[in-house]
Structure 1
């Protein structure tokens, strides 16, 4: 059953999960290529305030079996999906993400942001936050910054509060249970998810292999869409042969 689903482009279902305060337009530069690989589905991560609840909602709306592609926070949700319904995932791609839990400093910082967000109108993400998500050479790229900010504004205040409230627990031990073909993508200049964290995931997942994209920040689907598209296409072609 799994072999049939992944070998036939017409039957293959791709489920894509975005990152924090992003939406399905994250994949716009790759959409044509992704559609060549199968039917696209986009998970909604804006309605819940925990990673496990996000995973449950995505599964409720997802096709019976699918190739799962999770970016950044979406990678955490993808890992939760693997815990809740591993039999439904044909293959797994974890892009610019991690399995580490938040440290006390990050949790405290989020609490400060949450309190402020509840008191003032939401005007999008800060310039500093947007710039830190990109390669330093692109930190002032108005086109990319505007795209990121537009996604944040479309999500709005309530989604910001819910997603910022979602605590990330340590998931490294659970990774050992993953049995489907798994791709890990890291970027050399990612300031938000490090190569070391990606390597830790690689060490834990028996079926994984890892690709590093050079001269790229955290927002790989926006910064290097053609390169990421080729990596995904090659990976799925390889998974077809297993």
Structure 2
């Protein structure tokens, strides 16, 4: 819909619906292992951000706000009422905005490896320039080292994640980098009222635990948990632990 590739599974018998938002450089498959461990009757909405996966590249300016618009359009298209928002990295920024826009229907919020402000222009601008000039392959080793805990590169599926990253269109990746660079929702954290679970991989070098915890501290009704032996993508490295925490949170 509107150039956004997405997948939806309707809930059964009053089960909860989870709405997922992905990290930079990944597509909706980043949630596969978590979804596989959720009850079959739970509702699931996943989508690829613009310029990622099978979604079309951006047209004009892209921002966290316009990516949130895309999620809202899907919510309206499927008539989704109450739901839990689950956001990873830049997906967490999107879900922070959605928590305020849909305050009456988002019942719970889960933020993983994210913050109200991630990085600075001094970090993002050189990355954007490099990707546009030389492609994502020029920085993929450094990114993958931050994505995973030490030793994960020896696992059989590591090459799949490399390919997912490197096949992301350079312009789409750069546009999302710029959107992250320009976003700062620190002042709005206190407005989030949903029960919020904030997670972070203990070995996350992209959004370190202390940064993620500071975001949790800014939300009045939030709890913070670190997940051992995981980097920036605990939903990939420790899906069972991630899913248990998610299910317990939604049940509250």
| Matched ranges for 1:17-96 at <5 A | 17-36=21-40, 38-47=42-51, 48=58, 49-62=62-75, 63-96=80-113
* Aligned-pair CA distance for 1:57: 0.8
Contact 2:203/2:231 (8 A) holds in 1:
yes
Matched, 1:207 2:207: no
Aligned twin of 1:218: 232
Contact 2:118/2:207 (8 A) holds in 1:
no
> Within 2, Cα distance between the matches of 1:108 and 1:24?
26
* Aligned-pair CA distance for 1:228: 0.7
Match of 1:186 among 200, 205, 208: 200
Cα-to-partner distance string for 1:12-65 (whole Å, 9 max, x where unaligned): 211011100111111112222224471110133125421110001111102233
Listed as ranges, the gaps of 5+ residues in structure 2 are 1-11, 52-57
> Within 2, Cα distance between the matches of 1:64 and 1:124?
43
Let me know the Cα RMSD of the aligned residues. Answer: 2.3
> Within 1, Cα distance between the matches of 2:13 and 2:156?
33
* Aligned-pair CA distance for 1:225: 0.8
Aligned twin of 2:172: 159
Q: How many residue pairs get matched?
A: 228
When residues 193 and 16 of structure 1 are mapped into structure 2, their CA distance, relative to the original with a 3 A threshold, is same
Cα-to-partner distance string for 1:59-96 (whole Å, 9 max, x where unaligned): 11022331100011100111121233322311100011
Q: Which structure: greater helix fraction? A: 1
Listed as ranges, the gaps of 5+ residues in structure 1 are 1-7
> Within 2, Cα distance between the matches of 1:150 and 1:9?
38
- Secondary structure at 1:86's aligned position in 2? coil
Aligned twin of 1:105: 122
Cα-to-partner distance string for 1:121-157 (whole Å, 9 max, x where unaligned): x65862221122111222x225343222232245433
* Aligned-pair CA distance for 1:159: 2.2
Matched, 1:12 2:25: no
> Within 2, Cα distance between the matches of 1:35 and 1:149?
29
> Within 1, Cα distance between the matches of 2:42 and 2:172?
29
Match of 2:162 among 145, 149, 164: 149
When residues 159 and 56 of structure 1 are mapped into structure 2, their CA distance, relative to the original with a 3 A threshold, is same
Matched, 1:176 2:180: no
- Secondary structure at 1:136's aligned position in 2? coil
Shift >3 Å, 4+ stretches = 8-11, 122-125
**TM-score if structure 2 supplies the norm length?**
0.81
> Within 1, Cα distance between the matches of 2:13 and 2:165?
32
